[in-house]
Structure 1
């Protein structure tokens, strides 16, 4: 389902005001916003303005829709001070969405390069994410508190709101049941194959035992970890289906899951720890040819993993932007 992009300024204003209100209150308050806007436009038209100019003037008079919504819901904007609160909140959300995942992924990659185990990598990423959240929240708040104190005598908001700042109406792309089934089925088959390859192979050793594709040593940590990430991905697919559409929270979660799988997989592949050495040796190729194949195959697999992960992450953020609340 898709919402037309030709929405009026009034419709965009009501949407912007409604998205900062809990869903249970939107159905009650959005008609009030519409009535308020209509009355304001009528008053502007009575002063001789044309319809488009009257609409814009009415919205300018009403001001920032987030501030109007806070007034209707009796929600305080006083953490920093009402003048800077909305700017602080928007900047804080943006920085947390960027800094925290990047910092956590960087620490996780560094610990994997240093040879850390699964627990060390996950623990480092989680502790870094928590620390980054605390530091970003603290310093952004401190800066705005100082600005608020130093400019207490000034009137008006730090950025003057205009109707041109209104968000576009979302184009909602609802998650279908077929997408859920295909996603879960693929993940289940992929997880099942990881287990299956341990006991089945094209090649066997001298005792007739199958030679798995992945290094058996990984079963002490990394392969169970990947299976756990796959289970989380399946849970995410159900969450997305029940939510009905992408949101910023879902997009960030999708980013974290992709990083959790792709980063260690790439490191294990390129460091030679992912593929079982016995499996490589069992392939009926001479040494030089096998080395050439590995030299071309490993980067190809790595690039494929990166492209798929990037596409999935970008697609999630695009859909969340289109359906933003």
Structure 2
């Protein structure tokens, strides 16, 4: 049996992944360079075996050396596409899983699934979507990296990001207070003037039975939100304490309104009869409208919570 030297084994490991046309040239180049390096060490007094081992160690992993000869990257995504890949992936991970989970949760609610089933289905779909988004986006950029394709994405100064809104400026405080005032005004307008023409006395949208205590709770939450906006503006920044209070207020509003909706105490029955059931709308359709209303009563406070924490993180970074 023929004994192969370390040099022969190293060269064989290097050229095996190269194209046949390149193997002979690389083999000849390596044989010459390794031989010269070994002889130089031997002339300096090293043993030939030790000199050969030292030279091959300095050359490193033959796979990496072969990738250099073949001009093939040993990473999934290199610096050319990395930032584009990362920015796109972050954007999709913010949008796609939330939309998918919201859609599944709404569908499960319309199918009258239990709360546990809704949460389980939404989480399962969310995890699956996250995995798929990461895999397919990475695969696309992997192919671009290997083929050397040009995405056409070029950076210029117009792409510089605008300063992120802190949510603690005067305009933000005024906008928040005006929005809250409109909310309170809408409640009183609904009670005393009405939003829908009936040909007679106005029929309020909200259940008259909410007056005075139910509406008082709503106004108290509005006042608390207004005070929070003023406090944030006074500090010129969002803090963890402000984000926690904002979260508690949003959760309180969502829980309060959902309990009233489920009990049938939120919307005026007379209004429902005048607009829907009195015009032939069936109970199944009313159930769908109730689910959609409940979905909105969860989504909007949830977005308020997320927005508050995002602004808090930005303030802490600043």
TM-score, scaled relative to structure 1: 0.43
Higher relative contact order (CA 8 A, sep 6+): 1
Larger Rg: 2
TM-score, scaled relative to structure 2: 0.44
